[in-house]
């Protein structure tokens, strides 16, 4: 309340607050400071600004959030019953004993306080988290929480009723406003990050992660300076090299910028010794302008900032605005905000996550001066052809090719990243890779060690330079032709293979398409194309029903360009009972050994498509998810996931549960239980799971029950036409 007019009160709440106070003093934002003895002395000093107290109910944690709203509207201090009695101030609202359920408390706040609150920002805050409260009260913002499995089991919880109140509130707020905080407060506490961010995205709200943020009412009270990055010319392309850029994560999390590990990494002696991209939230310029100023001021020429997930705020673009009648218009508004805020921070690259091809193209269409798109939070692709692509306007798109080992030590993290980069890098240069570095698992010395182990064939560059080098290669190639690197088909089914032709040059190109000799059977239609500059045109190969290889050739004044694919055919004899699959179009292949997992081990099997499988052994492996993921975005439609499995030992009863889910398990699309009788020992079986997907990140899972030893080869995803 005191800071509504100007920054006057600053709290030392954590180990970094003094550091930022010293920075504000050094830069002239703070002229002088005066310590007070305790909070009571502070209250006495500013007693005229406080109308009274709002008393919480210790038996109902939700009243802390309700009190935050009431305090903002009534100009009151939030107090426990004990402190309220000690202070003796007028009681503006006493929340004790009024409600048995959290939902009733939130409903009262919605009915009684809504018209007096600002609706330009909301907050999703764990009721016991003290962070951010000063900012929420300062701006009179609505605050809510959605329980998870643990807090949802409390006697005062009713997740459905609380969801109903929250959805009403979100529906009444304008589109394209931020939700601060985060819908997660630990394992199974809160709705969860992925489900919560997904739900907010559907309502056209993006997350400005700010758990534990302190003194936001002070930091946001200073003018935003003009931010400018160091810039230099990109090196000249060496076609024999594999170029990569490290992208350090979680700059979207304002708490990470203020009190997380970013300040430590930036004050360390290693920074500047290796070129690195640092993700940063464009919203930080308004909320933490002094802190952003610190990072820009001390950045070296080897530090470069990239707009963090997924632009102005953290969201999943494929789900954005789905609750509106015109979701595309809401999403365009999000992109326009992203454009404005990126321009204010001199950002020309962006890191979206949970975005399909169409949503990624939107960034290139609506963000002015965009140089490159560094997609995904971690690895979601399996091949180089998927990792480095081109979108509208020939803007290069680099999907993340690295992830992390959740429980691994430093050596495991380094080895994992090196292995992933080597595995996906093209055999011949040039190559362009986005090496995603989760800030909680990698530091700068670790990234230096990664480069040392990769050897001289690999060159690390800044993100903007990676995009510029990729464009140099486009001008050199002029035209690209592509088909999926690995294709799957079901024996006897009609097969259609999509072919993409893109003009990478600045002049029109005439292109003739054909199948190379020995490169498969079928017809390419259309066979001749005229492709405008920066245009992508689709063709198709139809009639391929057998063979292990397909190769498409494009020829013209630019020379000859070709692309080849391996064909995997699932025999009809392997199919378990399920949908008839009359006409399907292959979409994706997930090799089991490349998917995330919780239990089991990787093993060799010469009959598997990649020669490797994920294995579970009865009596040795704990029950759990043998494979899951990869959270890749799919458009809305009717799909079939085909799981290739084999039982390797005796057993009875359920062997595994197969499912397809969206948004990190919040919505289950279809479940199928597979018994030992469905899987003859030593025989491959392809088990279909048919589902309707509403669009967004998709995850397919094999949950092993422990009933019989088994292995998983791959998961094929088809769209039913």
Over the stretch 206-234, which tens digit does the pLDDT of each residue have? 999 999 999 999 999 999 999 999 999 99
Domain span at 549: 478-569
Q: Is residue 224 part of a domain?
A: no
Residue 249 and residue 208 share a domain: no
pLDDT surpassing 80 at residue 544: no
Residue 609 and residue 488 share a domain: no
In percent, how much of the chain has pLDDT > 70?
98
Closest CA to 682 of 717, 708, 643, 656: 708
Residue 131 and residue 62 share a domain: yes
Full DSSP string of 491-542: TTSB-EEEEEEEE-SSS-EEEEEEEPTTS-SSEEESSEEEE-TT-EEEEEEE
Mean pLDDT on 379-388: 90
Residue 604 and residue 558 share a domain: no
Residue 118 and residue 64 share a domain: yes
Residue 391 and residue 368 share a domain: yes
- Report yes or no: 24 and 267 within 8 Å, Cβ to Cβ: no
Q: Is residue 496 part of a domain?
A: yes
| pLDDT tens per residue, range 70-113 | 999 999 999 999 999 999 999 999 999 999 999 999 999 999 99
Q: Look at the chain and count its residues.
A: 721
Residue 75 and residue 15 share a domain: yes
- Report yes or no: 338 and 312 within 8 Å, Cβ to Cβ: yes
Closest CA to 280 of 302, 254, 259: 254
pLDDT surpassing 80 at residue 493: no
User: Rounded CA gap, 718 and 584, in Å?
Assistant: 6
- Report yes or no: 438 and 400 within 8 Å, Cβ to Cβ: no
Mean pLDDT on 355-369: 96
* Number of neighbours of residue 97 by Cβ within 10 angstroms: 9
Q: Which residues pair with 437 in a beta bridge?
A: 248
In percent, how much of the chain has pLDDT > 90?
85
Residue 551 and residue 461 share a domain: no
What is the count of structural domains for the chain?
A: 4
pLDDT surpassing 80 at residue 17: yes
pTM of the predicted protein model: 0.86
- In this prediction, residue 664 has a pLDDT band, given cuts at 50, 70 and 90, of low
| pLDDT tens per residue, range 699-714 | 999 999 999 999 999 9
Q: Is residue 421 part of a domain?
A: yes
Residue 693 and residue 652 share a domain: yes
User: Rounded CA gap, 506 and 533, in Å?
Assistant: 5
pLDDT surpassing 70 at residue 666: no
Q: In Å, how far from its chain's centre is CA 646?
A: 33
Q: Is residue 680 part of a domain?
A: yes
Domain end residue (candidates: 569, 602, 637)? 569
pLDDT of residue 519: 60
Alpha-carbon torsion angle 702, 706, 709, 714, nearest 10: 0
- In this prediction, residue 582 has a pLDDT band, given cuts at 50, 70 and 90, of low
pLDDT of residue 581: 61
User: In a 3-state reduction of DSSP, which class is residue 155?
Assistant: coil
pLDDT surpassing 80 at residue 583: no
Domain end residue (candidates: 184, 219, 254)? 219
Q: Name the token pair of 692.
A: 């309707």
Q: Is residue 226 part of a domain?
A: no
**Dihedral of alpha carbons 617, 622, 623, 624, sign:** negative
| pLDDT tens per residue, range 287-337 | 999 999 999 999 999 999 999 999 999 999 999 999 999 999 999 999 999
User: In a 3-state reduction of DSSP, which class is residue 563?
Assistant: strand
User: In a 3-state reduction of DSSP, which class is residue 496?
Assistant: strand
Rounded to 5°, the CA angle 15-16-20 comes to 150
**Dihedral of alpha carbons 72, 75, 78, 81, sign:** negative
pLDDT surpassing 90 at residue 610: no
pLDDT surpassing 80 at residue 166: yes
User: Rounded CA gap, 323 and 346, in Å?
Assistant: 33
Question: Which run of H or of E encompasses 403?
Answer: none
- Report yes or no: 647 and 710 within 8 Å, Cβ to Cβ: yes
Residue identified by tokens 């499912």 is 659
Domain end residue (candidates: 475, 503, 525)? 475
- Report yes or no: 103 and 164 within 8 Å, Cβ to Cβ: yes
Q: Is residue 230 part of a domain?
A: no
User: Rounded CA gap, 571 and 560, in Å?
Assistant: 35
Rounded to 5°, the CA angle 532-537-540 comes to 150
Residue 375 and residue 274 share a domain: yes
- In this prediction, residue 578 has a pLDDT band, given cuts at 50, 70 and 90, of low
Closest CA to 709 of 672, 657, 653, 655: 655
Closest CA to 405 of 438, 444, 372: 438
Q: What is the distance between the terminal CA atoms of the chain, rounded to a whole angstrom?
A: 59
Q: Is residue 234 part of a domain?
A: no
Residue 427 and residue 413 share a domain: yes
Residue 181 and residue 303 share a domain: no
Residue 714 belongs to a domain with what CATH number? 2.60.120.260
Q: Name the token pair of 41.
A: 């002395």
């Amino acid at each position: 309340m005191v800071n509504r007019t100007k920054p006057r009160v600053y709290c030392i709440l954590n180990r970094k607050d003094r550091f930022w106070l010293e920075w504000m003093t050094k830069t002239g934002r703070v002229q002088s400071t005066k310590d007070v003895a305790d909070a009571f002395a502070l209250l006495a000093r500013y007693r005229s600004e406080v109308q009274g107290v709002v008393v919480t109910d210790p038996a109902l944690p939700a009243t802390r959030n309700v009190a935050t709203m009431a305090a903002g509207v009534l100009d009151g201090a939030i107090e426990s019953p004990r402190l309220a009695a000690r202070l003796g101030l007028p009681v503006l609202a006493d929340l004790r004993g009024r409600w048995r359920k959290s939902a009733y408390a939130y409903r009262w706040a919605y009915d009684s306080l809504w018209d007096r609150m600002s609706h330009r920002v909301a907050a999703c805050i764990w009721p016991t988290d003290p962070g951010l409260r000063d900012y929420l009260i300062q701006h009179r913002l609505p605050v809510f929480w959605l329980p998870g499995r643990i807090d949802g089991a409390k006697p005062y919880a009713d997740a459905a009723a609380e969801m109903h109140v929250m959805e009403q509130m979100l529906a009444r707020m304008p589109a394209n406003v931020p939700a601060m905080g985060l819908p997660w407060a630990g394992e199974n506490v809160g709705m969860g990050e992925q489900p919560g961010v997904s739900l907010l995205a559907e309502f056209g709200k993006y997350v400005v992660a700010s758990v534990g943020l302190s003194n936001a009412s002070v930091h946001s009270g200073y003018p935003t300076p003009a931010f400018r990055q160091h810039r230099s010319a990109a090196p000249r392309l060496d076609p024999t090299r594999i170029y990569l850029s490290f992208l350090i994560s979680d700059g979207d999390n304002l708490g990470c910028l203020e009190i997380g590990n970013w300040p430590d990494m930036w004050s360390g002696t290693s920074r500047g010794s290796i070129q690195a991209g640092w993700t940063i939230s464009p919203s930080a310029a308004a909320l933490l302008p002094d802190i952003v100023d610190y990072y820009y001021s001390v950045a070296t020429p080897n530090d470069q900032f990239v707009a963090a997930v997924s632009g102005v705020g953290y969201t999943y673009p494929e789900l954005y605005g789905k609750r509106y009648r015109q979701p595309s218009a809401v999403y365009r508004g999000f992109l326009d905000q992203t454009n404005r805020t990126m321009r204010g921070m001199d950002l020309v690259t962006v890191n979206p996550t949970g975005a399909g091809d169409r949503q990624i193209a939107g960034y290139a269409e609506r963000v002015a001066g965009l140089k490159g798109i560094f997609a995904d939070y971690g690895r979601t692709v399996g091949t180089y052809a998927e990792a480095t692509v081109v979108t509208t306007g020939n803007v290069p798109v680099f999907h993340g090719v690295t992830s992390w080992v959740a429980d691994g030590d430093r050596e495991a993290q380094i080895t994992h990243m090196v292995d992933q980069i080597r595995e996906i890098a093209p055999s011949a240069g040039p190559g362009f890779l986005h090496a995603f570095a989760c800030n909680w698992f990698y530091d700068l010395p670790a990234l230096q060690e990664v480069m040392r182990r990769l050897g001289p064939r690999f060159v690390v560059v800044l993100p903007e330079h990676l995009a510029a080098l990729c464009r140099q290669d486009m001008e050199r190639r002029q035209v690209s032709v592509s088909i999926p690197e690995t294709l799957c088909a079901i024996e006897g089914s009609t097969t259609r293979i999509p072919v993409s032709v893109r003009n990478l040059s600045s002049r029109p190109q005439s292109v003739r398409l054909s199948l190379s000799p020995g490169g498969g059977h079928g017809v390419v239609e259309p066979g001749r194309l005229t492709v405008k500059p920066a245009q992508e045109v689709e063709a198709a190969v139809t009639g391929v029903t057998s063979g292990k290889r397909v190769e498409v050739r494009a020829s013209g004044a630019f020379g000859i360009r070709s692309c080849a694919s391996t064909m995997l055919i699932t025999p009809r004899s392997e199919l378990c009972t399920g949908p008839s699959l009359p006409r399907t179009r292959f979409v994706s292949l997930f090799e089991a050994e490349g998917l995330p997992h919780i239990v089991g081990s990787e093993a060799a099997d010469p009959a598997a498509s990649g020669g490797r499988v994920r294995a579970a052994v009865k009596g040795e492996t704990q029950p759990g998810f043998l494979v899951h993921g990869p959270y890749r975005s799919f458009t809305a439609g009717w799909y079939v996931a085909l799981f290739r499995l084999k039982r390797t030992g005796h057993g009875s009863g359920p062997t595994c549960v197969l499912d397809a889910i969206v948004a990190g398990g919040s919505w289950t699309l279809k479940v199928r239980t597979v018994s030992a009788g469905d899987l003859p020992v030593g025989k491959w079986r392809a088990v279909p799971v048919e589902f309707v997907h509403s669009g967004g990140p998709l995850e397919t899972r094999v949950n092993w029950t422990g009933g019989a030893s088994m292995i998983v080869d791959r998961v094929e995803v088809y769209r039913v036409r």
